[in-house]
């Protein structure tokens, strides 16, 4: 039993069951016991590995995409380079290294990192020794006077979701309550009609479960309003699909799936990203959303294979094997190539970011 489990049990006893979003927020970001506050989750020794931690090629390709989009929009003299949830800072450091030769790009950029965890902020500062980033608690405080070029890799999957299960009359919300012996457990609220989910009644059947992420659509709204009026673009890369359908809430610890209610604060909690909801929020805010594109296709279109072949020339033995398998992991449909998708947001008078279709 964790200290956070005790806190949540007391809270449920006094004020009643929590929504999944309240539970997820506490587990991930509780100021003292939250997962992102206390753990360094990344890499082989951590709980999971992300694309930039697998190979430098990921950040290099993303960097060239951003730099090309910046040039396509007339190479503005000042712009904000924004990352949401930068983790260890590996991706943005690779982006900066890959764009060193792009004339004017580095001098035009200021750095804005949206990051909730003080521990992660320290790691990010150390990964960018030559720059002085500005950290933000939320996307709401990002600059509103210059174009913003944004990257978010595995950020949206960490945002708190709510789950609703359909019955004949309406929707029952998945709640976190207590069992007879006082353990945290999943339960269901009474059925109620929910206005925001009425449109899903015609494409679901009783028993179906769907997920919503109000935090995710609010972040996209903040980005899209700026991109539509100030210029720039956003690349949202994550696992998920077009429209939420089914239970994707999961807990991972030491690269294995675990019970999300067993040890709150000790496991990473995520859910698949509903890209339809994000694209819809972007268009409502006046911005264009690209076609949703598999990560493997995106990386191939931007030349990851010639880059991989170039790097392979300098490698031998086990380093070469690791490099070949990293390329496969990022691009192959059986690995991250098709589960992970890329959504681009861009202004109506511009083309989508390179590698993506309108
Ligand atoms: N993009 C990185 C890390 C992904 S993990 C990579 O690809 O390796 C998720 C990151 O988002 C972590 O840095 C975490 O601290 C941060 N984060 C999670 N929830 C957040 C929230 N609600 N607001 C701001 N940052 C958050």
Q: β-strands 134-136, 232-241: how paired?
A: unpaired
Residues contacting 203, CB < 8 A, separation 6+:
none
Confidence check: pLDDT of 147 > 90:
yes
| CA pair distance 129, 284, nearest whole angstrom | 38
Q: β-strands 162-166, 209-212: how paired?
A: antiparallel
Does 231 contact ligand 1 (Cβ within 6 A)?
A: no
In the structure, what pLDDT confidence band is assigned to residue 48 with cuts at 50, 70 and 90? confident
Does 115 contact ligand 1 (Cβ within 6 A)?
A: yes
31: which 2 tokens? 């100021």
Does 116 contact ligand 1 (Cβ within 6 A)?
A: yes
CA 226 to ligand 1 centroid distance, Å: 21
What pLDDT sits at residue 44? 64
CA 204 to ligand 1 centroid distance, Å: 32
| CA pair distance 106, 165, nearest whole angstrom | 49
Does 114 contact ligand 1 (Cβ within 6 A)?
A: yes
Confidence check: pLDDT of 52 > 80:
yes
Handedness of CA 315, 318, 320, 326 (dihedral sign): negative
**What average pLDDT does range 88-110 have in this prediction?**
96
**What average pLDDT does range 107-115 have in this prediction?**
97
Contact 276, 311 (CB under 8 A): no
In the structure, what pLDDT confidence band is assigned to residue 182 with cuts at 50, 70 and 90? very high
CA 265 to ligand 1 centroid distance, Å: 15
Does 335 contact ligand 1 (Cβ within 6 A)?
A: no
Contact 346, 287 (CB under 8 A): yes
Q: What confidence tens digit (pLDDT) does each residue in 260-280 have?
A: 999 999 999 999 999 999 999
Q: Where do the domains of the chain lie, and which CATH numbers do they carry?
A: 3-30+161-211 (no CATH), 36-157+213-346 (3.40.50.12710)
Q: Which atom of ligand 1 is nearest to the CA of 25?
A: 22
**What average pLDDT does range 137-160 have in this prediction?**
98
Does 87 contact ligand 1 (Cβ within 6 A)?
A: yes
Eight-class DSSP state of 335: T
């Amino acid at each position: 039993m964790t200290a956070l489990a005790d806190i949540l049990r007391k809270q449920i006893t006094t004020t009643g069951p929590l929504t999944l979003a309240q539970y997820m927020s506490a587990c991930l970001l509780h100021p003292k016991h939250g997962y992102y506050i206390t753990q360094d989750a990344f890499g082989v020794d951590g709980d999971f590995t992300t694309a930039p931690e697998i190979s430098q090629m990921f950040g290099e390709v993303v960097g060239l995409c951003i730099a090309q989009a910046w040039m396509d929009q007339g190479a503005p003299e000042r712009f904000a380079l924004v990352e949401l949830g930068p983790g260890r800072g590996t991706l943005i450091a690779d982006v900066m290294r890959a764009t060193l030769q792009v004339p004017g790009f580095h001098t035009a950029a200021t750095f804005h990192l949206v990051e909730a965890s003080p521990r992660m902020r320290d790691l990010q500062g150390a990964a960018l020794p030559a720059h002085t980033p500005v950290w933000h608690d939320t996307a709401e405080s990002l600059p509103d006077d210059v174009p913003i070029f944004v990257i978010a890799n595995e950020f949206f999957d960490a945002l708190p979701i709510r789950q609703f299960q359909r019955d004949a009359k309406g929707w029952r919300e998945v709640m976190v309550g207590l069992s007879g012996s006082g353990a945290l457990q999943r339960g269901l609220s009474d059925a109620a009609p929910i206005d925001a989910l009425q449109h899903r009644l015609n494409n679901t059947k009783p028993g179906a479960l769907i997920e919503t992420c109000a935090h995710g659509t609010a972040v996209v709204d903040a980005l899209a309003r700026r991109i539509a009026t100030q210029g720039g673009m956003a690349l949202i890369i994550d696992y998920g699909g077009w429209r939420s359908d089914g239970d994707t809430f999961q807990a991972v610890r030491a690269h294995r799936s675990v019970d999300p209610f067993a040890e709150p604060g000790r496991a990473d909690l995520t859910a698949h990203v509903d890209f339809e909801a994000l694209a819809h929020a972007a268009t409502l805010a006046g911005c264009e959303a690209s076609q949703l594109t598999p990560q493997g296709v995106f990386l191939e279109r931007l030349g990851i294979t010639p880059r991989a072949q170039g790097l392979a020339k300098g490698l031998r033995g086990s380093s070469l094997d690791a490099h070949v398998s990293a390329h496969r992991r990022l691009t192959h449909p059986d690995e991250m190539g098709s589960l992970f998708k890329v959504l681009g947001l861009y202004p109506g008078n511009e083309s989508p970011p390179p590698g993506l279709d309108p």
